[in-house]
Amino acid sequence: TFHKSKGQHILKNPLLVDSIVQKAGIKSTDVILEIGPGTGNLTKKLLEAGKMVIAVELDSRMVLELERRFQGTPYSTRLKVIQGDVLKTDLPYFDICVANIPYQISSPLTFKLLFHQPAFRCAVIMFQKEFAMRLVAQPGDKLYCRLSVNTQLYARVSHLLKVGRNNFRPPPKVDSSVVRIEPRKPRPQVNAKEWDGFIRICFIRKNKTLGSIFRLKHVLSLLEKNYKTLQALQSSQNASLGNTDIGMDIISSLGDSKEDQNMEMDVGSDNEMEVEDGDDDEDTEGEVSEFKVKVLDVLREGQFEEKRASKLTQQEFLYLLSLFNKAGIHFS
Ligand code: SAM
């Protein structure tokens, strides 16, 4: 019996398993991290291809089944099983990650991997199709969103395989996709909290111009508060842009928690989940504060006033953030 709550859908198509392993480009010297090995169909092929497999599995029954499956075989010395929740586990060194994961942990797991150090070579992961499509979406694509931007800041992402639901037992209610994630090296030198705060604001209404977003009262007042706090700190010669440590809070913030709470939900229909519309937040026409002028000057300097987050590239976001920072405006 399989636990639906643990996202237990076993890969039953051996050709598909072969194809995933082949696309991963495993070397015989590789240490492989597998997340959610289940009964070990993928694990076996990973053991054949690499030097060592470290598998993290939540379900103790599956851990037993896995150990039993490889007991007394030459594989057993090259397989290390860690029982536990991968999100709460300190991950060991690995070269490559290959996994058919439970979809409810897609987002936090992706960011946990992206912040893992030292950076691995690549991860080849099965996701719910809608999640995968948002991961790989490019500027101007309908599905381009915070998740795309945040992931692609830290990694190159590409779509590898479409996988129909009938390749699993029991079949899930959604289709799947295998995606390759290659961490960028070196990792971009941005403060993760600052980046997150900045991207959240740009995507408040992803199809509105940045000019209109940065005129919103609550946006301006937030930025002005940050600005004043920093000025005060700096004048007391105590400047600090805050903590650059990567904790679980930022890992879950960068993703999209809404879809992690509910596996098998259809996230394809509504890609503008960041929208929080409210009439109470009209722009600040009339009162032109000094700070507002400062913010709008930054947008004009980079010719961003008429641009929209839905079409901005990674480089443009980084550039705009650097212009804000140069003007002393910060997002965390
Ligand atoms: N890899 C197997 C396969 O392809 O046949 C099973 C994949 S199944 C989709 C996901 C597996 O992840 C299940 O075995 C489940 O028990 C395990 N799992 C669920 N939540 C987990 C978590 N937080 N950490 C580690 N493993 C988890």
Q: At 277, is the pLDDT very low, low, confident or very high (cuts 50, 70, 90)?
A: very low
Give the pLDDT of residue 198: 97
What count of Cα atoms within 13 Å lies in the side-chain half-sphere of residue 301?
14
Could you tell me which residue, 312 or 282, shows the higher pLDDT? 312
Tell me the β-bridge partners of 172. Answer: none
Rounded distance from Cα 10 to ligand 1 centre (Å) = 9
Rounded distance from Cα 142 to ligand 1 centre (Å) = 30
If you take atom 17 of ligand 1, which residue's CA is the nearest one? Answer: 36
Give backbone dihedrals phi and psi of 179, rounded to 5 degrees, phi first.
Answer: -125, 145
The structure tokens listed for 319 are 């550039």
Give the pLDDT of residue 50: 98
- Whether residue 246 has its Cβ less than 6 Å from ligand 1: no
- Whether residue 172 has its Cβ less than 6 Å from ligand 1: no
Whether 310 has a pLDDT exceeding 70, the answer reads yes
- Whether residue 6 has its Cβ less than 6 Å from ligand 1: yes
Tell the residue number behind the tokens 């169909």, with chain if given: 41
If you take atom 16 of ligand 1, which residue's CA is the nearest one? Answer: 59
CA distances from 33 to 8, 115, 122, 128 (A): 18, 15, 11, 20
Q: What is the dihedral of CA 93, 99, 104, 109, to 10 degrees?
A: 20
For the segment 142-166, what is each residue's pLDDT rounded down to a tens digit?
999 999 999 999 999 999 999 999 9
Tell the residue number behind the tokens 């901005």, with chain if given: 312
Give the separation between CA 180 and CA 155, rounded to whole angstroms: 10
- Whether residue 57 has its Cβ less than 6 Å from ligand 1: yes
Give the separation between CA 136 and CA 60, rounded to whole angstroms: 34
Burial class (CB in 10 A: 0-12, 13-18, 19+), 307: middle
Give the separation between CA 142 and CA 131, rounded to whole angstroms: 13
- Whether residue 7 has its Cβ less than 6 Å from ligand 1: yes
ipTM value, please give it: 0.98
Four-residue CA torsion sign, 21, 24, 26, 30: negative
If you take atom 23 of ligand 1, which residue's CA is the nearest one? Answer: 85
> Average pLDDT over the chain, rounded to whole?
89
Strands 122-128 and 96-100: parallel
Give the separation between CA 31 and CA 54, rounded to whole angstroms: 7
For the segment 197-207, what is each residue's pLDDT rounded down to a tens digit?
999 999 999 88
Tell me the β-bridge partners of 169. Answer: 10
Cis peptide leading into 139, omega within 30 of 0? no
Pick from 103, 115, 104, 92: nearest CA to 31 = 92
For the segment 94-148, what is each residue's pLDDT rounded down to a tens digit?
999 999 999 999 999 999 999 999 999 999 999 999 999 999 999 999 999 999 9
Ligand 1 test: best mutation among 5, 8, 112, 252, most atoms within 8 Å of CB?
Answer: 8
3-state percent breakdown (helix, strand, coil) of the chain, nearest 5 = 45, 15, 40
Give the separation between CA 290 and CA 306, rounded to whole angstroms: 21
Give the separation between CA 54 and CA 303, rounded to whole angstroms: 49
- Whether residue 330 has its Cβ less than 6 Å from ligand 1: no
CA distances from 67 to 49, 57, 58, 115, 127 (A): 19, 11, 14, 30, 26
- pTM for this model (two decimals): 0.88
Look at 36-45, 47-56, 75-84, 263-272 and tell me which has the smallest mean pLDDT.
263-272
Cβ distance 296 to 214 under 8 Å?
yes
Helix, coil or strand: residue 315:
helix
